[in-house]
A and B are shown apart, each in its own frame.
Chain A
Amino acid sequence: EVQLVESGGGLVQPGGSLRLSCVASGFSFSTHWMSWVRQAPGKGLEWVANINQPGSGKFSVDSVKGRFSISRDNMKNSVYLQMNSLRAEDTAVYYCARIYCSGGSCYYDYWGQGTLVTVSS
Chain B
Amino acid sequence: DIQMTQSPSSLSASVGDRVTITCRASQDIRNHLAWFQQKPGKAPRSLIYDASTLQSGVPSKFSGDGSGTDFTLTIISLQPEDFATYYCQQFHSYPYTFGQGTKLEIK
Contact = CB atoms under 8 A, between A and B. Distances in A.
A45 B38 CA distance: 10
A47 B87 CA distance: 12
Contacts, number: 57
A110 interface: yes
Contacts of B91: 105-107
B15 to A, nearest CB: 26
Contacts of B45: 111
Given A107-B50, A108-B46, A109-B56, 15 more contacts: A44-B98, A44-B101, A46-B98, A47-B89, A47-B96, A47-B98, A59-B94, A61-B95, A95-B43, A95-B44, A105-B31, A105-B32, A111-B43, A111-B46, A113-B42
A112 interface: yes
Interface of A: 37, 44-47, 50, 59, 61-62, 95, 105-114
A47 B49 CA distance: 16
Interface in B7-35: 31-32, 34
B96 A110 contact: no
Contacts of A114: 43
Chain B contact residues, majority secondary structure? loop
Interface string B45-67: 11001100001100000000000
Interface residues of B, number: 25
Nearest to A114: B43
**Which of A46, A62, A106, A107 gathers the greatest number of chain B CB atoms within 10 Å?**
A107
Given A45-B36, A47-B96, A105 B87 contact: no
Contacts of B99: 44
A21 B50 CA distance: 29
B98 A105 contact: no
A5 to B, nearest CB: 11
5 contacts: A45-B36, A61-B95, A62-B95, A109-B49, A109-B55
Contacts of B94: 50, 59
A47 B91 CA distance: 11
Given A47-B95, A47-B97, A59-B94, A109 B87 contact: no
Contacts of A59: 94-95
